[in-house]
Amino acid sequence: MTATIPVLEADPSALAPIPLSRLVQVELRKLVDTRAGRWLGIIQALLIAAASTILVIVMAVRDDPVSLMDFFSIAGFVMSVLLPVMGILAITTEWTQRTHMATFTLEPRRGRVIAAKCGAAVIAALVSIAVAVVVAVVSSGLASLIGVSVDWHFDADMMAGFALAQILGVLTGFALGALILATPAAIVAFFAYAFVLPTLFMIGADQLSWFESIQPWIDLGDAQMPLTETGLTAANGAHLLTAAALWLGIPLVLGIRRIRRSEIK
């Protein structure tokens, strides 16, 4: 009687893939299990709470009214700085700490890993937005208790724009991280993009008449302003799509291509 020895498939594509939901859970764990990711989230929440408290105190001292949306504006500023860094960490930590070999050994389909990391970064942004909502409501209640006049009007369009702006921010950080694959360099590149480029665009538009007509199409920071102010129209929506394709789409495509083709060592 001849024994049959099972033969394992050597081709990874023949194996059942790990569910994408499980990969996203793993990437979320990586974000909060590292000291950098955990403290980044804690500091972000503390800064939003501190800035909201300061606003309450200032409005109470000056006896000025405050609105619920004012607290969202403050939270948006804090998150616009820190959320993109979280997006960077979501993709670069593997390469900085050299754990990508284990990750891609367990799941050799690199595109699925990248998608899971991107999904984890977006979920982290949504959680941060939820924290901002809670802080805004609590701060408004606190202001009302100490006698500050509070406008409780909730602008759904502005809130949707606020959420979209934060998601675009974290995706921009993710795209830069995927392109550079080094945490310090990607963070420096983001801050140069976020603070240096808008200034250069503003100077160029002020000094060069031909550049003034181009600026709305290439300045992502300026193109995002209607999201939380006047709302999107057909014109500024086209500006946002074009600028996002330039500063988010192209780096993300190049970064994914680099990760998929790079040698794991």
Closest CA to 116 of 90, 92, 84, 98: 90
Q: Is residue 10 part of a domain?
A: no
Q: What is the pLDDT of residue 12?
A: 52
Burial class of residue 171 in the structure, from the number of CB atoms within 10 Å of its CB (0-12 exposed, 13-18 middle, 19+ buried): buried
Q: Is residue 5 part of a domain?
A: no
User: What is the count of structural domains for the chain?
Assistant: 1
Handedness of CA 224, 159, 136, 48 (dihedral sign): negative
Q: What is the pLDDT of residue 15?
A: 61
- The C-alpha atoms of residue 161 and residue 155 are separated, in whole angstroms, by 10
Using DSSP's 3-state secondary structure scheme, residue 233 falls into coil
How do beta strands 150-151 and 66-67 pair? Answer: parallel
Q: Is residue 133 part of a domain?
A: yes
At residue 255's C-alpha, the angle toward residues 92 and 261, to 5°, is 100
- pTM, full prediction: 0.86
Residue for token pair 């086209």: 238
Q: What is the pLDDT of residue 10?
A: 52
Residue for token pair 């020895």: 5
Q: Is residue 77 part of a domain?
A: yes
- The C-alpha atoms of residue 111 and residue 249 are separated, in whole angstroms, by 16
Q: Is residue 3 part of a domain?
A: no
DSSP 12: G
Contact 44, 82 (CB under 8 A): yes
Contact 179, 262 (CB under 8 A): no
Q: Is residue 182 part of a domain?
A: yes
Q: Is residue 2 part of a domain?
A: no
Q: Taking the chain (265 residues) in consecutive chunks of 10 residues, what is each chunk's mean pLDDT?
A: 53 68 90 82 88 88 85 85 90 81 84 92 90 88 86 82 89 93 91 87 86 86 80 80 91 92 77
Q: What is the pLDDT of residue 178?
A: 92
Give the pair of three-digit tokens for residue 104: 């891609």
Structural domain including 211 reads 19-261
Q: Is residue 1 part of a domain?
A: no
At residue 119's C-alpha, the angle toward residues 17 and 99, to 5°, is 65
- The C-alpha atoms of residue 168 and residue 130 are separated, in whole angstroms, by 16
Q: What is the pLDDT of residue 158?
A: 82
Residues 6 or more apart whose CB falls under 8 angstroms from that of 38 comprise 32
Q: What is the pLDDT of residue 132?
A: 86
Closest CA to 31 of 80, 100, 93, 83: 93
